[in-house]
Structure formats: C-alpha cells, structure tokens
Amino acid sequence: MKQTISSYVKFARIIAMSKLASVLLLASIGGLVYLALNLNSNASDQSLTEATEVVEEFNEEEYDKIENGIHVRTGLVDAEGLMTVVSNCTSCHSAKIIIQNRMTAERWNETIKWMQETQNLWDLGKNQEIIVNYLVANYPVKKKGRRMKLENIEWYELEN
C-alpha cells in the first residue's frame, strides 16, 4: 500500500511538472510571436519616419567657412597650411586632439612617425613639413608656470 501511494505521488508530481512546462512553453511561444509582430510594425513605422525626414542640402560655402580667423567646421586657426592639416589629420581624428596638444617641431615629427608606425598613417611626403610648420606656428608650446601663491587661507589640522 505504501508503495502504491508513493507511486501515485510521483505520478502526480510528474503530471504537475509537465503541466507547468506546457504553460511555460506556450507563454514563451506567445511572447516570441508578440515580439516578432511588434518588431515588424516598429520597423515599418521607423522606415516611414526616415522617409519623411528632411535632409539638409550640402552647402559648400558653409563647409569651409572661416569666422574670426577660425575654420568653423574644425575649430582650427585659419593660416597657411590649414587645409593640408584638415585633409591629412581630421580624416582620422578630431581637430580637438590637435588643438589640445601643443608641441615643438621635433615632438610633432615624432608623433607623426609614431602614428605612421602604429596607426597606419600614410607617408605625408612634402605635406609633413607644411603640417608641422602650421602646428608649431599656430599651436606652440605654452610654458606652464606654477599656480599663484595661496593667500588668505584658514588652515586647520586634520583630526585622527
């Protein structure tokens, strides 16, 4: 008798587990169908939105516009060699990295050599001298001094 009850309990558990598995399977399939239908409707809505967007026309005058001695698109100083720098340097990185790095001619040449060895920068040929001269003239090394002496400060001891 004990064995029959035990068998019945095992059988009931198996039936309950199979019902649970069936419910989970149906819920998963329903969720996948919902996602598939929902993604397709979103994709068609998005393509309609993209089709109605207005695209600005390319304005060549604005592309290389100079205002107050600054090339608007890049932020670089307008001087001899600007367009050589723009065409050779900004095709790989932002002009901001040029503006923030102020170096001597020797350091710029070392940096260019490093970019050629490690970043696949092409041989600049005669343009290298034009680029380095532009960079040294317009972004020279700034001597960094010490900060000003602190005055009128109330100092205090830190407690342990």
What is the pLDDT at residue 44?
54
Residues 66 and 125 in one domain: yes
126 and 97 in a common domain: yes
Rounded Cα distance, 101 and 112, in Å:
13
At residue 73, the pLDDT reads 87
**Distance separating alpha carbons of residues 64 and 71, to the nearest angstrom:** 7
Does the residue 132 lie in any domain? yes
**CB 89, CB 83: distance < 8 Å:** no
| Same domain? 25 vs 81 | no
Structural domain of 40: 1-50
pLDDT band with cut points at 50, 70 and 90 for residue 134: very high
Residue 47 reports pLDDT greater than 60: no
- Co-location of 24 and 82 in the same domain: no
- 44 and 68 within one domain: no
The answer on 81 and 40 residing in a single domain is no
For 66-80, give one letter per residue: b (16+ CB within 10 A) or e.
Answer: eeeeebeebebbeee
pLDDT bin (cut points 50, 70, 90) of residue 152 is confident
Does one domain contain both 67 and 107? yes
> How confident is the model over 82-132, as pLDDT tens digits?
999 999 998 889 899 999 989 999 999 999 999 999 999 999 999 999 999
- 127, 66: one domain: yes
In a domain, 36, yes or no: yes
- The predicted model gives 39-47 an average pLDDT of 59
* CATH number reported for the structural domain that contains residue 121 in this entry: 1.10.760
